[in-house]
Amino acid sequence: MEAKIYVDEKATPRYFKARPVPYALKKRVEDELERLEKEGIISPVEFSEWAAPIVPVMKTNGDVRICGDCKCTVNQVSKLDNYLIPKTEDLLATLGGGKKFTKLDMSQAYQQLKLDEDSKKYTTINTHKGLFQYNRLPFGVSSSPGIFQRAIENLLQGIPHVVVRMDDILVSGEDDTAHLDNLSSVLSRLLEAGLRLRQEKCCFMQPEVIYCGYGINGEGVYPVAAKVDAIKNAPAPRDVTQLRAFLGMMNYYH
């Protein structure tokens, strides 16, 4: 499976110098660059007309995720993939009649999709260790969500009682036999495409799961209590930023 980033033919290349990395993060950034290179996700390059500085993001487990600050470069000139990310209510309607549910989590999501050769130059990042070019679809590119959603939906098209929301796949069936048949079809297609799952985040044949912030069981769909409590207990907004955050919480279940 290949991904292509479409860029305006008249676009002028944009090159930015590497930004300083805080000393406390430098070793983690270097370790992550080494891992990405070892796994073939990035490759060092000596020259590029395009280059974005990096934004190191701390993860909850203490690791660092490296993202190119693509809003400075390719995001300004790329043609946005307008493939719609499906609404949660539309997804959940597909699961009507299911009694048990299997939730699959795709490891590293975007970075499982190979980039076509012409697109690689647009994803170059500039680091204190030099220039690196992505061989796989990176985080930070504005068209990545649409590209990824389209690719996975097309891959699993035609399998009943299956819904996809980015890197989360939910499988069900009218009974256990149908469920297992659908699950087998999903796993076979993922395997054929060379796509991997994150085993520790997958769960199989469960009577109840949390998906896209909703609880799902054989009786239907319901809001997750923790999210409802967060709305109930939220302090009154005191400025525009806080108001936007509060409205975002309210709109989650609107």
What CATH number has the domain bearing residue 97?
Answer: 3.30.70.270
Answer yes or no: do 46 and 57 share one domain.
Answer: yes
Answer yes or no: do 93 and 216 share one domain.
Answer: yes
Q: Quick one: pLDDT at residue 224?
A: 67
Answer yes or no: do 130 and 200 share one domain.
Answer: no
Residue with more model confidence, 133 or 244: 133
Do the Cβ atoms of 148 and 166 come closer than 8 Å?
yes
Residues of the chain with pLDDT > 70, as a percent, come to: 90
Answer yes or no: do 39 and 130 share one domain.
Answer: yes
Residue 112 predicted with pLDDT over 70: yes
Q: Quick one: pLDDT at residue 88?
A: 73
Sheet strand arrangement including 214-217: 208-211, 214-217, 220-223
Answer yes or no: do 92 and 48 share one domain.
Answer: no
Q: Quick one: pLDDT at residue 19?
A: 95
Q: Kindly report, residue by residue over 3-38, the tens digit of the pLDDT.
A: 999 999 899 999 999 999 999 899 999 999 999 999
Length of the chain: 254
Q: Quick one: pLDDT at residue 55?
A: 93
- Whole-angstrom distance, CA of residue 96 vs CA of residue 23: 52
Task: Give the model's confidence band at 44: pLDDT under 50 very low, under 70 low, under 90 confident, else very high.
Answer: very high
Number of domains in the chain: 3
The mean pLDDT value for 195-211 works out to 93
Answer yes or no: do 124 and 229 share one domain.
Answer: no
Distance (Å) of CA 93 to CA 89, 96, 162, 172, 174: 6, 6, 11, 12, 14
Q: Quick one: pLDDT at residue 226?
A: 60
Its domain, for residue 229, covers 224-253
Answer yes or no: do 38 and 150 share one domain.
Answer: no
Sheet strand arrangement including 42-45: 42-45, 130-134, 125-127, 52-58, 64-68
Residue 134 predicted with pLDDT over 80: yes
Distance (Å) of CA 235 to CA 1, 241, 242, 246: 46, 13, 9, 9
The mean pLDDT value for 165-189 works out to 95
Q: Quick one: pLDDT at residue 148?
A: 92
Answer yes or no: do 104 and 191 share one domain.
Answer: yes
Placement of tokens 């080494």 in the chain? 34
User: What is the pTM (predicted TM-score) of this model?
Assistant: 0.81
Q: Quick one: pLDDT at residue 58?
A: 85
Residue 133 predicted with pLDDT over 80: yes
Burial environment of residue 152 by CB neighbours within 10 A (0 to 12, 13 to 18, 19 or more): buried
What is the residue type of 136?
R
The DSSP result for 45-109, as a single string, is ES--S-BEEEEEEE-TTS-EEEEE-GGGTGGGTB----PPPPPHHHHHHTTTT-SSEEEEEBTTG
Residue 227 predicted with pLDDT over 90: no
- Mean pLDDT score across all residues of the chain: 88
Q: Quick one: pLDDT at residue 251?
A: 59
Answer yes or no: do 123 and 25 share one domain.
Answer: yes
Task: Give the model's confidence band at 249: pLDDT under 50 very low, under 70 low, under 90 confident, else very high.
Answer: low
Answer yes or no: do 120 and 206 share one domain.
Answer: no
Answer yes or no: do 93 and 155 share one domain.
Answer: yes
Q: Which residues make Cβ contacts (< 8 Å) with residue 239, sequence separation at least 6? A: none
β-pairing verdict for 162-165 and 114-115: unpaired
Max CA distance (Å), the chain: 58
Structure tokens at 58: 């701390």
R_g over Cα of the chain: 21
Answer yes or no: do 168 and 204 share one domain.
Answer: yes
Burial environment of residue 158 by CB neighbours within 10 A (0 to 12, 13 to 18, 19 or more): exposed
